Structure 1
């Protein structure tokens, strides 16, 4: 092997230390020179502005810089961004074509590592990775987007007419009824007897009272639960019929299943088997609601910081620690379906044709089982992938949402760079369409670049919106694409439900995740009931002041649960009396009977004899004879 110039090698190393990190292309040139027995050239010139590393526009380009067209397309409308440009002036003429290909491979690997690190920061590290070859071979072009959509034909809401005369309790009983509380009562008594040898002897009436107390406590916030029974702050509606110790005992012993009745294989496959009947009953009530044309899918956290094997951590959430729940909701916040996350493998078993799908696509496919053709689904970038779009198109369900750049890398090559959009100012945007005309990607610059994917909406027609400018300390009028407006309007359903639940959440300081799950889904049922009650009254033209607020609705529901205990006890007493007298024959029709005087009157001297008037009938009768 020929000797390499030592001075050249070490001088090159010193210059790299002074200038910063060695670029990938220069390092490959250096290694290839060593491998090919050639002299190493001084490659330090122009190192600071290597577009292969920084992805920036060269300094000498100025305002007249125009990116070269992509070699794959002959159309003048096609666009290639600066980061795809070949850095020819940094590469010597005697380099081979194979070296350029290897450089591109290394560049793609480095992008994958950066994207994986970004996914981990978003809390996606434990999910199934989206296949990398999904978007390969796709061709994108700058052309108008004209979607061909199936007309939505939703089913009629057959409960709308019945709900016209419903009371608040009728809305709540769509989710929580007497059969569910009977199941809770039986399982609680059975498990208490099996574990401690003594039954709690609770009843359906007491279970109604317990949940009424829990709902009322969420409306009146005390720092500690036991303060509801204190002498100074006691609430009679809570403390009169249930003692403090009885409340805590019932809460800690609540059971929805009998453990011995659950098969071992189900315990292994279903991590939430301890609360599954309760969740299924709430899910049944959610699926009774009519499916609208526009729905949204998002994450929901069930806050819990205790010990739990399937607890998740999702940063940037109001409650980042707890169980993760994927929710399908309407635009007005009504939950239509949900799936509590217990692993991507478990979720894949519930979805047909799940091979090769990532977690986001699995969630969308699972929650869209009850959707009608023509439905428009909105989601964030955690769920939006090309594989999810393709699977939904087969069902004629149309997806719209923000998307990560690495998931539409081919489309990003055709869109302007972030620097060019920033130079054009806030509100600038660009659109590319897939070659088959079914999908479009829009890049919009507001405070920072936003990339969105849709099979329904595109850039046009644009409108304007108000955005705050920190520099000028005033609102600015900014152009906004149609896809951004539709996304902002239709995406807030799950967030609305979360916000309503956070106002009066049932605060349960417990180490048992099962109790936390029961209280969370009871809150979800109350929020759904109130949103449905408000929507029905608005459709009927009820004045706004006559519609109960959410706090008032919860208090009415709590009062009905508390009073239902008395009604059920009275009904049970009458039923027992009728059962005891069932063997007695029913008397026939009789004449009116004069009531018998009290025993003290009947046996007291002559008070029971008839009163005598001035006429002596006795003497007259005997004298006449």
Structure 2
């Protein structure tokens, strides 16, 4: 994009893209009011300012693109998100690779963006009501398994078989349940729940459970007691109606207000008890609760949990470009998924809670790995430029331990230096001309003192 607009190439590299995203992740963990403060004299963050110059960061961000516009044929530009589609597909591939549990949930997720965008949506009562709407399939633990960014009901219907006569909620259910196994229980809210959607799911042996609007089940409402009668009977009162073929069940439960639920697998029985707060008595009351409500409350919160994890340290870079906002959002989604998987693996192996990294520490560690991706050519050019103008050359930072011990691709070379340089292994005061091509640091490699092996062994 820079070459097309100004005639000058940015001469960037894969390593520099790692540095850009590493800096963006680290900035989300240290929320300064302005991005320029990360390079300021008093508040600079060396991990960012020593890796990438301020103007370079802004230049990369303003020219960042996922595809070259001229390389995309016109027929593929009917996809409204074609500018970020390859990046989204890569994240989607990782989501599809996750194991499918017995119970999943489907809900809306907002990609916050208030700038100019032709497919921006407004969804009231959301923490971020303005932005792009994303329909998400997630586990009860918050791990995202599939998603579909909304760009219109016609485009969504084109991805679904037998879409005629189905509403938007049913179309979303059919699209997101393509990858689930038969026998899966799907939980959703009243936006998606209809009898036609539940029947279409039953054809795939997928069982739907969710809250439902009373105007979508008129026949069941005639058989259920009225709100006034249930209020007189008190909190915890419930009633149920089963359809003639026995495949669908409607349960009405009165708590602070009546709750209607439709399910193809759960019923009212067995009932249990729960603690609910009473404003009148100013204490917790023990009331009866149908089994369908208990199951719904336990399995429905996966998408909200993922949203909450992303909101803690969101890469909220202010930008007028919706493409940048989308890239940052799906990077946040991948990081949230990765940490939830990391925590789940440690919990399965019985790791003590204190030994498991927090989400903040996990993000900072990933940022450090990205920032320490070594670009030897770029480092040599910086050093030569500083020497030419008589400036003090920048000290090469020590790579993160994950980069030093990641693989065996750390080949040594004898650098063409006039004088040997000090070894960078901790505790060593020797000098050497041997340099690691990957880490770009000088290390001793002698028969009596092998700092090269100790450094890459994490010692």
Q: Which residue of 1 aligns with 2:165?
A: 356
- Secondary structure of the residue aligned to 1:565 is coil
Indicate whether 1:223 and 2:67 are aligned. Answer: no
Mapped to 2, the partners of 1:464 and 1:537 lie a distance apart of 33
Distance 1:497 1:458, change over 3 A: same
In terms of Rg, which structure is larger? Answer: 1
Q: Deviations over 1:402-459 (max 9, x none)?
A: 0000111111011000000000000001000000001000000000000000011111
Q: Which residue of 1 aligns with 2:262?
A: 453
Mapped to 2, the partners of 1:219 and 1:344 lie a distance apart of 37
Shifted more, 469-478 versus 282-291: the winner is 469-478
Q: Which residue of 2 aligns with 1:50?
A: none
Aligned partner (choices 203, 207, 212) of residue 13 of structure 2: 203
- CA offset at residue 525 of structure 1? 0.3
Mapped to 1, the partners of 2:159 and 2:139 lie a distance apart of 23
Mapped to 1, the partners of 2:376 and 2:305 lie a distance apart of 35
- CA offset at residue 465 of structure 1? 0.8
Mapped to 2, the partners of 1:510 and 1:342 lie a distance apart of 21
Q: Deviations over 1:513-542 (max 9, x none)?
A: 000000000000000000000001111111
Q: Which residue of 2 aligns with 1:470?
A: 279
The equivalences for 1:126-525 within 5 A come to: 191-268=1-78, 270-525=79-334
Contact 1:216–1:555 under 8 Å retained in 2:
yes
Q: Deviations over 1:205-259 (max 9, x none)?
A: 1111111101110110101111111111011111112111111111111110010
Distance 1:567 1:215, change over 3 A: farther
Mapped to 1, the partners of 2:75 and 2:411 lie a distance apart of 43
Contact 1:209–1:565 under 8 Å retained in 2:
no
Mapped to 1, the partners of 2:264 and 2:270 lie a distance apart of 15
Q: Which residue of 1 aligns with 2:391?
A: none
- CA offset at residue 387 of structure 1? 1.1
Mapped to 2, the partners of 1:568 and 1:296 lie a distance apart of 48
Mapped to 1, the partners of 2:102 and 2:295 lie a distance apart of 13
Contact 1:334–1:532 under 8 Å retained in 2:
yes
The structure carrying a bigger strand percent of its residues is 2
Distance 1:558 1:456, change over 3 A: same
- Secondary structure of the residue aligned to 2:205 is coil
Q: Deviations over 1:173-220 (max 9, x none)?
A: xxxxxxxxxxxxxxxxxx221222111111111111111101110110
Mapped to 1, the partners of 2:410 and 2:342 lie a distance apart of 34
Mapped to 2, the partners of 1:332 and 1:535 lie a distance apart of 9
Q: Which residue of 2 aligns with 1:538?
A: 347
Q: Which residue of 1 aligns with 2:434?
A: none
Q: Deviations over 1:253-276 (max 9, x none)?
A: 1110010111112212x0000000
Mapped to 2, the partners of 1:330 and 1:307 lie a distance apart of 33
- CA offset at residue 478 of structure 1? 1.2
Q: Which residue of 1 aligns with 2:448?
A: none
Mapped to 2, the partners of 1:495 and 1:399 lie a distance apart of 19
Contact 1:205–1:569 under 8 Å retained in 2:
no
- CA offset at residue 460 of structure 1? 0.6
- Secondary structure of the residue aligned to 1:401 is strand
Contact 2:169–2:191 under 8 Å retained in 1:
yes
- Secondary structure of the residue aligned to 2:330 is helix
Mapped to 2, the partners of 1:305 and 1:471 lie a distance apart of 41
Mapped to 1, the partners of 2:140 and 2:377 lie a distance apart of 38
Q: Which runs of 5+ in 2 are unaligned?
A: 382-408, 415-459
Q: Which residue of 1 aligns with 2:359?
A: 550
Q: Give the number of the structure with larger relative contact order, counting CA–CA contacts within 8 Å between residues 6 or more apart.
A: 1
- Secondary structure of the residue aligned to 1:444 is strand
Q: Deviations over 1:38-68 (max 9, x none)?
A: xxxxxxxxxxxxxxxxxxxxxxxxxxxxxxx
Mapped to 1, the partners of 2:43 and 2:27 lie a distance apart of 13
- CA offset at residue 569 of structure 1? 6.7
Distance 1:228 1:571, change over 3 A: closer
The structure carrying a bigger helix percent of its residues is 1
- CA offset at residue 296 of structure 1? 0.2
Contact 2:275–2:286 under 8 Å retained in 1:
yes
Mapped to 2, the partners of 1:543 and 1:571 lie a distance apart of 44
- CA offset at residue 574 of structure 1? 9.2
RMSD: 1.9
Contact 1:348–1:362 under 8 Å retained in 2:
yes
Superposition TM-score, scaled by structure 2 size: 0.82
Mapped to 2, the partners of 1:255 and 1:292 lie a distance apart of 36
- CA offset at residue 565 of structure 1? 2.9
Count residues with an aligned counterpart.
387
Mapped to 1, the partners of 2:233 and 2:356 lie a distance apart of 48
Mapped to 2, the partners of 1:568 and 1:381 lie a distance apart of 57
Contact 1:208–1:565 under 8 Å retained in 2:
no
